[in-house]
Amino acid sequence: MSVNRRTFLQGTAGAIGLAMAQGALSKIVYAQDAAGTLRVAIAKPAGNLDPQSHYAIWAIQDLMFEPLVRYGKGGQIEPCLATGWEIEDGGKTLHLTLRQGVTFHDGTKFDATACKWNLERWMGLEQFSWMNCSKQFQSLEVIDDYNVAVHFKEQPLALMQELTYTRPVRFLSPKSVDADGKFKDPVGTGPWVQLSADDTQSVFEHYDGYWGDKPTYERLEAKVIPDARSRVAALRAGQIDLVGGFWIAPLTAEEGKQLESDESVNVVVDPGNVTLVMAFNPDRAEALKDQQVRKAVSIAIDRAAISKVLYHGYAKPAGNIFSGALPYAGTQYDAPARDAAAASALLEKAGWTGSPIRMKDGKPLTLELVVSPDAVPGSRVIAEVIQAELKEIGIDLVVRSVDHASKHTDMLEQKYDLGFFLTYGAPYDPFGSIVALCLSTFHNDVEGKLVTDAVNLDPLINAAMVASGDQIQPAIQKVYDWLRDNDAIAPLVYVPSIWAHSKRVQGFASPITEYDMPYENIVLAS
Amino acid sequence: MNMLKTILAQINKMPRAALITIGLFLALGIFAPWIAPQDPSAQNLLDAGGGPSAAHWLGTDNLGRDTLSRLIIAANTSLVSVGSVLIIAMTIGILMGTIAGYHRGWVDDLLMRIVDVGLSIPSLITALAVIGIVGPGYWTMVMALSLAWWPMSGRISRGVAVSIMSKPHIEALRVLGASPWRIYFGHLLPGTIGQVMVYATADAGTAALAVATLSFLGLGIQPPTPEWGQMLVDALPYLESDPRQVLLPGFALTAAVIGFNILGESIALNRIPKPLTRRMLALRRAEVASWGKENSNA
* CA–CA separation, A39 and A56 (whole Å): 19
Question: Of A42, A45, A40, which is closest to residue A501 (Cα–Cα)?
Answer: A40
Q: Give how far B136 is from chain A: nearest CA, Å.
A: 7
DSSP A506: E
> How far is A428 from A275, CA to CA, in rounded Å?
13
Would an 8 Å CB–CB cutoff place A440 in contact with chain B? no
Which structural domains are found in chain B, ordered by start? 14-36+56-271 (1.10.3720.10)
CB contact under 8 A, A373 and B136: no
User: Do B262 and B13 contact (CB within 8 A), yes or no?
Assistant: no
**CB proximity A233 to B under 8 Å:** no
Polymer length of chain A: 526
- Which of B128, B141, B215, B222 is best to mutate for the A interface (most A CBs within 10 A)? B222
Determine the pLDDT at residue A25.
Answer: 59
User: What pLDDT, on a 0 to 100 scale, did the predictor assign at position A243?
Assistant: 95
Q: Which residue of B has its CA nearest to A232?
A: B240
> Which of B63, B137, B218 is opposite residue A384, by nearest beta carbon?
B63
Q: Is the predicted pLDDT of residue B43 greater than 80, yes or no?
A: yes
Check B218 against A258: CB less than 8 A apart: no
Does the beta-carbon distance from B222 to A385 stay under 8 Å?
no
User: Which chain A residue lies closest to B40 (C-alpha atoms)?
Assistant: A388
Min distance A90 CA to chain B CA atoms (Å): 53
Cα separation, A207 vs A193, whole angstroms: 6
The rounded distance, in Å, linking the Cα atoms of A3 and A438 is 75
For residue A460, the model assigns a pLDDT of 95
Cis preceding linkage at A317, omega within 30: no
Residue A69 CA to residue A79 CA, distance in Å, equals 5
Q: What amino acid is encoded at B3 in this protein?
A: M
Angle at B232 between CA B231 and CA B238, to 5 degrees: 100
Residue of A nearest to B220 (CA): A401
Nearest Cα neighbor of A223 from A46, A31, A26, A23 is A46
| Angstrom distance (rounded) from CA B113 to CA B244 | 48
| Length, in residues, of chain B | 298
Does the pLDDT of residue B252 top 90, yes or no?
A: yes
Q: Cα angle at A356 between A353 and A360, to 5 degrees?
A: 30
Return d(Cα A168, Cα B285) in angstroms, integer: 93
Cα of A432 vs its chain's centroid, Å: 12
Residues A366, A352: Cα–Cα separation, whole Å: 11
Which residues are CB-neighbours of A260 under 8 A, at least 6 positions away? A267
Query: Could you give the CA distance from residue B66 to residue B79 in angstroms, rounded to a whole number?
Result: 20
- Stated as kind and residue range, the H or E segment containing A205 is strand A201-206
Residues of B in contact with A388 (CB under 8 A): 41-43, 63, 224
Between vectors from CA A276 to CA A270 and to CA A281, what angle results, nearest 5°? Answer: 170
Mutate to test the interface with B, among A380, A398, A410 (most CBs of B within 10 A): A380
Q: Is the dihedral of CA A428, A272, A221, A234 positive or negative?
A: negative
Nearest CA-CA distance, residue A380 and chain B, Å: 9
Contact B218 A373 (CB under 8 A): yes
**Do A308 and B45 lie within an 8 Å CB cutoff?**
yes
Is the pLDDT at B287 greater than 90? The verdict is no
Chain A residues with CB under 8 Å of B60 CB are: none
How many A×B Cβ pairs under 8 Å? Answer: 55
With b for 16 or more beta-carbon neighbours within 10 A and e for fewer, the B148-166 pattern comes to bbbbbbbbbbbbbbbebbe
Which residue in chain A has the smallest CA separation from B42? Answer: A388
Question: Residues B185, B191, B194, B196: what is their CA dihedral angle, to the nearest 10 degrees?
Answer: -100
Binary contact (B239, A229; C-beta < 8 A): yes
Are B56 and B42 within 8 A, CB to CB?
A: no
**Among A453, A452, A491, CA closest to A329:** A491
d(CA A517, CA A458): 36
B77: three-class secondary structure by DSSP: helix
Cβ neighbour number for residue A23 with a 10 Å cutoff: 11
Alpha-carbon dihedral A448, A450, A453, A458, rounded to 10 degrees: -90
The reply to whether residue A384 touches residue B224, judged by beta carbons under 8 angstroms, is yes
More confident position, A223 or B46:
A223
Q: Would you state the pLDDT for residue A84? A: 95
Tell which residue, A68, A160, A156, has the closest CA to residue A112. A68
Per-residue pLDDT tens for B110-154?
Answer: 999 999 998 998 888 888 888 888 878 888 899 999 988 899 889
A384 CB within 8 Å of a chain B CB: yes
CB–CB contact B237 A254 (8 Å): yes
Angstrom distance (rounded) from CA A146 to CA A19: 62
Tell me the shortest Cα–Cα distance from A407 to chain B, in angstroms.
12
Cα–Cα nearest to A318, from A152, A168, A469, A489: A489
Q: What type of residue is A95? A: H
Q: In chain A, which stretches have pLDDT less than 70?
A: 1-3, 19-33, 526
In this structure, how many other beta carbons lie within 10 angstroms of the beta carbon of residue A78?
Answer: 11
Instruction: Determine if residue A79 is left, alpha or beta; phi over 0 gives left, psi from -120 to 50 gives alpha, anything else beta.
Output: beta
pLDDT in tens, B215-227: 888 788 888 889 8
Minimum CA–CA partner of A233 in chain B: B240
Cα angle vertex A425, ends A402, A157, to 5°?
120
**B interface toward A at CB cutoff 8 Å?**
41-43, 45-46, 48, 62-64, 135-137, 218-219, 222-224, 234, 237-241
- Per-residue pLDDT of A48-70, as tens digits, reads 899 888 888 999 999 999 999 99
Chain A residues within an 8 Å CB radius of B219: 401
A497: phi then psi, degrees, rounded to nearest 5: -100, 115
User: Does residue A477 sit at the B interface (CB-CB below 8 Å)?
Assistant: no
Instruction: With cut-offs at 50, 70 and 90, classify the pLDDT of residue B195.
Output: confident
Decide if B70 contacts B253 (C-beta within 8 A). no
Q: What is the DSSP letter of A81?
A: S
ipTM of the complex: 0.75
Picking from B268, B259, B199, the residue whose alpha carbon sits closest to that of residue B10 is B268
Residues 6+ apart with CB under 8 A from A181: A121
d(CA B184, CA B161): 10
Which residues in chain B touch residue A400, judged by CB atoms under 8 angstroms apart? 135-137, 222
User: Are B46 and A388 inside 8 Å of each other by CB?
Assistant: no
- With CB atoms and an 8 Å threshold, state whether B45 touches A309: yes
Name the DSSP letter for residue A126.
G
Q: Give B109 to chain A, closest Cα distance, Å.
A: 40
| pLDDT, averaged across chain A | 90
Q: How many CB atoms lie within 10 A of CB B275?
A: 6
Nearest C-alpha neighbor of A436 from the set A158, A169, A50, A65: A158
Maximum distance among all alpha carbons in chain A? 95
Q: What angle do CA B89, B95, B96 make, to 5 degrees?
A: 90
Q: Rounded distance, CA A406 to CA A412, Å?
A: 10
Express each pLDDT in A400-419 by its tens digit. Answer: 888 788 888 888 888 999 99
The pLDDT score that the predictor gives to residue A490 is: 96
Mean pLDDT of chain B: 87
pLDDT the model gives residue A24: 60
Q: Which residues of A touch B39 (CB under 8 A)?
A: none
- Among A384, A392, A397, pick the best mutation site for testing chain B contact (most B Cβ within 10 A): A384
| CB-count burial class (<10 Å; 0-12, 13-18, 19+) for A284 | middle
A82, containing H or E segment: strand A82-88
Cβ atoms A70, A277 nearer than 8 A: no
Closest approach of B167 to chain A, Cα-based (Å): 53
* pLDDT exceeds 60 at position B186: yes
Give me the torsion for CA of A186, A188, A191, A195, rounded to 10°.
20
Q: Closest approach of chain A CAs to the CA of B187, in angstroms?
A: 47
Chain B environment of A373 (Cβ under 8 Å): 218
Among B70, B128, B123, which Cα is nearest to B253's? B70
Please name the amino acid found at residue A94.
L
User: With an 8 Å Cβ cutoff, is A151 touching chain B?
Assistant: no
A257: contact with B, CB 8 A cutoff: yes
What is the rounded distance in angstroms from the CA atom of residue A427 to the CA atom of residue A132? 14
The SS3 of residue A15 is helix
CA distance A470 to A464: 11
Q: Tell if the CB–CB gap between A384 and B223 is shorter than 8 Å.
A: yes
* Residue A420 CB contacts under 8 Å (≥ 6 apart), including other chains: A276, A277, A278, A279, A371, A376, A379, A382, A383, A492
Angle between helix axes B228-235 and B189-216 (nearest 10 degrees) is: 20
Are the Cβ atoms of A380 and B43 closer than 8 angstroms?
no
Q: What percent of chain B has pLDDT over 70?
A: 97
